Amino acid sequence: MSMILNDEEKGMLAGDYGAGKQKAIELLIRLGNSFGAEKLSPVSYAHVSYDSCPEDFWDLLTTDVQQTPHTVTTHPSFQPELWRKWGLPVKDETVGEHRRKVKTIEQLGWIRTETCAEYLIGIIPQLGDIVSMAGSCMQVANNSLFGAKVERMGTLVSMAAAICGRTPLMGLLLPENRYASYLVELNDLNMSQWSICHYQCLGYYIGSQVPGFKPVAVAGLPYDLPFDFARALIISMPTSGAITLAHLVGITPEAHTIESTFGHKKPEQVIRVGKNEMGTTWEKLNTWHNDIVENVTFGCPHANVEDIGRIAARLEGKKIKTSLIIGASSFIATAARNRGYTDTIEKAGGHIASVCPAIWNPFTRRDIAGEKQAKSVATNSARAAHYLATVSGVSVFFGTEEDCVNAALTGRWKGVMQKWK
Amino acid sequence: MEIKAHVISCGEASGEAVVYRGPFSFLGDLDPMTGTVSVPRHPLQGISLVGKVFVFTTGKGSSGGDAAAWRAKQNGKMPAGIICLESEPILSGALIVTETPAVDQPEKDVFELIKTGDYVRIDANRGIIELAID
């Protein structure tokens, strides 16, 4: 083990702070060593994904751990008791595991934000802050949109980082690794009518074109690009690939000009995106065979109040024929309820929940919904489309928010394949 | 033939190679119950990686990759060993936490030298890939 450790870290490794911290720091050291990290760095705060962490690993790492001195927040979570109220046959063991983990979280003093979009509820790292996070969507958003320093890491590693309050000083935590190496140029795309799904589609294509986790810079976007479009674009990139830092030139904090974004060097490669690339990606995300839609999924990344308001307006006074879920934090759901949106959506037959509706969608996962599993789902998120098709194994309709709401109302897909000519 | 490589996760492994010239995620690409590739239209769809030496380019996708690998490991459905061109931290974390012998940055073109079905041995203590050719 070649990494330099301070006395406290040496103590953790020796087991002076208990078995959980010992196991956690061992894992961080092994990972750091494989990437040539010189030392561990303290984190400003940490973010974990507890429901997706296997319970044996969770128990291993939380053994002997008292409250942590640093803040820890949580990724989208299960609500198994709520899902039962929706009529899903959630297993007793799922309920039990969730309750046990929540109890541990309360003992640790961690804050249950239960969202992949903490920036919507005011939890935003400062420029240059070193933070450790579960969730590739959180990592890429905080790196790119706010200039925090976040390394790409898995759920289990981020759990280890939260336990120790440390992360290996490597990769994107080092300023010299944050310059863009790939340049994305947009060719002849008229973006004036674009909505969330178009930016998601673009991000999904870009992610598939960059090998590994090299930072990219996207040029040619309007300088007044709405925040919701920026986050839709960025969070879909680490789905098809591993991009964890995406600079939007003229928009994001470390991308004032193309020259400075590349550290005044030439781009390693230029990726050009035009109508052909958009059209092919759009088709690839649509994996459906017939037009029957059983579930509609929004909120990947987690929705804000405006997203929920638009969907509520489309559903006002109507009844849907499919199940419908919008992923959003409980804080946003409360704000939406105060404005009457949540009631409108629930009256129509839809639900708002703090789950990850892409990877852990309770309606499409056979291990949650059992015989009630929805076999086909419509979504306006490329990230959700990818994971619904691969993790849940259901057939997917990808289109605009309007197409998806219409599918919920009719139970049929009438969304038109976009004409990219 | 011996090929030098960089160690991701220590140990020794050997087995039949499965070669895929693309990125891979344990979450979504691998069914943790069966150890087969589960993606519709994927070139490896339906192929089992259990006990194989899996050769691919790099990692991709969600941070759930290491948790998915952990579940596959509990079910005994992980590949025996991994060779990739250049790893990334989610993939490396998944291989370290599951104690899967793994190397990257091989000094020779493994896609040229290794074909699916070839017998391959990895010594990930020393950082060596061994092939049954001269």
Residues 95-154 of A with CB under 8 A from B: 133-137, 139, 151-154
> Chain-wide mean pLDDT for chain B?
95
- A402 exposure class (CB count in 10 Å sphere: 0-12, 13-18, 19+): middle
Q: Domain B2-131 belongs to what architecture? A: 3-Layer(bba) Sandwich (3.50)
Q: Is residue A213 very low, low, confident or very high in pLDDT (cuts 50, 70, 90)?
A: confident
Q: Note the pLDDT of residue A24.
A: 98
Contacts A–B by Cβ distance under 8 A: 127
Share of chain A above pLDDT 70, in %: 99
- Is the peptide bond prior to A301 cis by the omega test (within 30 degrees of 0)? yes
Where do the structural domains in chain B lie, given as residue ranges?
A: 2-131
Tens of pLDDT along A242-296? 999 999 999 999 999 999 999 999 999 999 999 999 999 999 999 998 999 999 9
Q: Using a CB-CB distance cutoff of 8 angstroms, which residues of chain B are in contact with residue A245?
A: none
Residue A157 backbone class (left: φ over 0; alpha: ψ -120 to 50; beta: rest): alpha
Residue A327: both structure tokens together: 């992923």
What CATH number was assigned to the domain covering residues A286-410?
A: 3.30.499.10
Closest in B23, B57, B65 to A154, CB measured:
B65
A222-243 tens-digit pLDDT: 999 999 999 999 999 999 989 9
User: Tens of pLDDT along B41-53?
Assistant: 889 999 999 999 9
- pLDDT exceeds cutoff 80 at A418: no
pLDDT at A420 over 60: yes
Q: Report the side by side order of strands in the sheet with A216-219.
A: A246-248, A216-219, A182-186, A269-273
Banded pLDDT at A421 (limits 50, 70, 90): low
Predicted pLDDT at A62:
97
**Total residues found in chain B within this entry:** 134
Chain centre to alpha carbon of residue B61: 16
| Contact across the interface for B90 and A391, Cβ inside 8 Å | no
CA of A338 to nearest chain B CA: how many angstroms apart? 33
DSSP classification of residue A150: E
ipTM for this prediction: 0.96
* Cα distances (angstroms) measured from residue B16 to each of A419, B52, B53, B55, B94: 45, 5, 6, 10, 21
pLDDT of residue A212: 73
* Residue among A169, A213, A235 with most chain B CBs within 10 A, to mutate: A213
Task: Please say whether the beta carbons of B125 and B7 come within 8 A.
Answer: yes
pLDDT of residue A5: 97
Nearest to A176 by CA among A106, A245, A107: A245
What's the pLDDT at A222?
93
Mean pLDDT of A59-69: 94
Cβ–Cβ gap A31/B86 under 8 Å: no
In chain B, what residues touch A52 (CB-CB under 8 Å)?
A: 64, 67
Helices assigned H by DSSP within A270-329? 275-285, 305-315
pLDDT tens for A129-152 read 999 999 999 999 999 999 999 999
Q: For an interface test with A, which of B41, B66, B78, B95 has the most A Cβ atoms less than 10 Å from its Cβ? A: B66
Closest CA to B23 of B68, B58, B47: B58
- Per-residue model confidence (pLDDT) at position B133: 83
Q: Is the pLDDT of residue A316 over 80?
A: yes
A307 touches chain B (CB under 8 A): no
pLDDT over 70 (residue A1)? no
Whole-number pLDDT of residue A297? 98
| pLDDT higher than 60, residue A386 | yes
Compute the half-sphere exposure of residue A108: CA atoms within 13 Å on the CB side of its CA. Answer: 31
Amino acid, res. A182: Y
Looking at the complex, does the CB of residue A238 fall below 8 Å from at least one CB of chain B? yes
In percent, the amount of chain B with pLDDT more than 70 equals 100
Can you give the pLDDT at residue A285?
Answer: 96
Residue A178: pLDDT band with limits 50, 70, 90: very high
Q: Per the CB < 8 Å rule, is A57 touching B67?
A: yes
Quick one: what percent of chain B has pLDDT higher than 90?
Answer: 92
HSE toward the beta carbon, residue B26, CA cutoff 13 A: 32
The pLDDT of residue B134 is above 90: no
Q: What is the pTM of this model?
A: 0.94
Residue ranges per structural domain of chain A: 7-175, 179-276, 286-410
In terms of Cα–Cα distance, which of A335, A281, A286, A287 is closest to A308?
Answer: A335
pLDDT digits (tens, 9 = 90+) for A16-29: 999 999 999 999 99
B62 noted as active-site residue: yes
Q: Is the pLDDT of residue A342 over 70?
A: yes
- pLDDT value at position B98? 97
Mean pLDDT for the stretch of residues A179-186: 97
Rounded CA-CA distance A263/A257 in Å is 10
| pLDDT (0 to 100) of residue A211 | 80
Contact A238 B40 (CB under 8 A): no
Q: Which of B25, B62, B63, B87 is catalytic?
A: B62
Chain A contact set for B40 (CB, 8 A): 287, 389-390, 393
Enumerate residues 334 to 373 of chain A having a beta carbon within 8 A of any beta carbon in chain B: 359
Mean of per-residue pLDDT scores for chain A: 96
A7-175 topology per CATH: Aconitase; domain 3 (3.30.499)
**Minimum Cα–Cα distance from A49: chain B residue:** B64
Q: Do domains A7-175 and A286-410 have the same CATH topology?
A: yes
The dihedral over CA atoms of B91, B94, B95, B97, expressed in degrees to the nearest 10, equals 150
- CB nearest A390 (choices: B38, B65, B97): B38
Full DSSP string of A341-383 = HHHHHHHHT-EEESS-TTTS-TTT-HHHHGGG--SEEEES-HH
Task: Give the pLDDT mean for A408-418.
Answer: 89
